[in-house]
Structure 1
Amino acid sequence: MRRTPSATIEGTGPGLATAPVQALNLTRSYGRRTVVANVSFSVRPGVVTGFLGPNGAGKSTTMRLLLGLEQPDSGHALINGRPYAALSRPLTEVGALLEARSFHKGRSARSHLLALAQAQGLPASRVEEVLTQVGLGAAGRRRAGGFSLGMAQRLGVASALLGDPAIVILDEPINGLDPEGVLWIRTLVKRLAAEGRTVLLSSHLMNEMAVTADHLLVIGAGRLLADCSTGEFIQRHTDAALYAATPEVARPALLEQAFLRLTASSAEYQAS
């Protein structure tokens, strides 16, 4: 049974019982510092779920807990009802991008992906398919260590998509991309969600998140502060008169204001 977290959480997120991605009362501390505090949420398929929080809020740690890269002090992180470590072929169930340059710098993009494919029993043909999908078809034989940050991000996305997973988790995939690349990521994640996949996406670009994410999880000081639709979140945390007077096409600009209002007291670094 899901316990009620000690922090008040806005919204009513999807039920935990059937969700492909579940965080159940996750807690993680480093020494005396609690980075993730009794966090529970679920991520459902068919929508893009945005994961927001100030620097130091616990977003990256939470994602690492979901992917088995760290172990919680208490609680559970489940992918399709099981811990990540229990997945026999994890890349075919969940693809993730947490670090843009998590590859051997001396290998080509193609060699990097081929090694991943072989380790997971995937056909070599998938390498060419994902390289083309992320726009690196012509750069596949280049040494990945010489890639720009934007190209490294594309290679990371290719790695995440290699096993054609039903779950995709991307941490700041827009970082380093030019406007064309930002539009490409936006189109990609929306298409993945439209195909019925489960998509969890973090970003610091509020305006972009407002037009990409259907649902938001907002974390501050390690606690979940909101779990609701993007539209509901914006409406709750902007002036009622301003919200009512703002044309629908301009409302994405209000997300930053809403985010700052909710997380102001939980930001780790604040200007005086």
Structure 2
Amino acid sequence: MKVTKFLLGAALVSAAAMLVSCSDLSSAEESESSSSRAAATTYYVSTADQLYTAANKVNGGDTIVLSSNITLTKQLQLLRSGSSGSVITLNGNGKTLDCSNFTGWGVKVNGSYWTIKNLTVKNASDCGLVFQIGGNNRAEYCKFLNNGDSGLQVYNSAHDVTVTKCESYYNYDKATGGENADGFAAKLSGGKNIKFNYCIAKYNSDDGWDLYSQPYQVTMNHCEASYNGYINSSYQTTSDGDGNGFKLGSKYANVSHRVLYCTAKGNLKYGIDANGNTAKQTITGCTVTNNKEGQISSRTKY
């Protein structure tokens, strides 16, 4: 229980942290001091409306907890920010956000100092979860399933993003022949200090990890990329999906990425491919086997 103490003369008076249901958000607001918050608030949500309302009210130190699976009616936008000592937490509590009822990204994070954990995001028509701007955000123990583009993408200057023990499966952009849906992507315009630890990408129509035109170094540590380039476990391929395990850039790029103690197996194309990136890559302690076109492409310097 979080306790905040105020010095009143010579005495210490303790105020216990409130646990507030989203059904009574107004009373939670009324409990706040006009100059500072007395205690962190936990919002328990079981409907899309409650979740949207909570996301628009949270402050540093607050937590949103899903108490049931939720079918979203529009994109969930996480726009507010915490601080280095007071993060905002979205705890999926093992529940699922179904994004099949609208178009676009499922969850967009433009705020900073968020931790998103224990959550499944599925059936978005585009990416499941996107860190678009902001920084110092984390995703932990999350799953991304059957989305119409990458499961998770770091994009548009988002920086200091750490993704740990997340899994991304069966993402497939049918309308574009499978050429965009990666398990995890930090591509085009992601910021500095992006790290993936102990994550798994399988059966995504394009690549397991895609760092196409990523301008700053990305680290993948103890990650697994298997059977990418296929859209399901029956090994069905697409017209345009690439199928690399770890794609480390693009033509004209000169950025050194780090692939540490990772596994790449059974992918349609290469296990590891610099894809035209001319920098020397750091590939250490990796197991790369049974990839259809080759293991580590000859154009990869390491």
Larger Rg: 2
TM-score tier after normalising by the smaller chain length: under 0.3
- Greater share of strand: 2
Higher relative contact order (CA 8 A, sep 6+): 1
- Greater share of helix: 1
Task: Give the TM-score normalised by the residue count of structure 1.
Answer: 0.27
